[in-house]
């Protein structure tokens, strides 16, 4: 789990997301995000985009190819 604080941005507050997380999810400054809440938590998800979903699946496959065996061993 990652703990973050909000930053002052004009009259608003901003959440700064680390580059490594953005790259993992394939998110950049052009990505449209859906923001919702369950009353206790803030939920931020990329808006459904077929191109973005394809890029995410490719990144996930590459991650699994590179780290899959190590992750399986850790799970045991």
Q: Is residue 55 over pLDDT 90?
A: no
pTM over 0.85: no
DSSP assignments along the chain, one per residue: ------EEETTEEE-PPPHHHHHHHT--TT--EEEEE-SS-EEEEEPP-HHHHHHHHHHHHHHHHHHHHHHHHHH-
Average pLDDT value for residue range 53-59: 86
Domain ranges (residues) in the chain: 19-75
Chain segment 2-13, per-residue pLDDT in tens? 899 999 999 999
CA 72 to chain centre: 22
Closest CA to 16 of 35, 1, 29: 29
């Amino acid at each position: 789990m990652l703990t973050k604080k909000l930053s002052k941005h004009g009259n608003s507050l901003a959440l700064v997301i680390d580059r490594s997380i953005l790259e993992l999810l394939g998110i950049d400054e052009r990505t449209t995000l859906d923001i919702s809440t369950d009353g206790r938590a803030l939920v931020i998800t990329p808006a459904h985009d077929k191109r973005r979903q394809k890029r995410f699946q490719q990144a996930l496959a590459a991650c699994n190819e590179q780290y899959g065996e190590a992750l399986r061993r850790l799970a045991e």
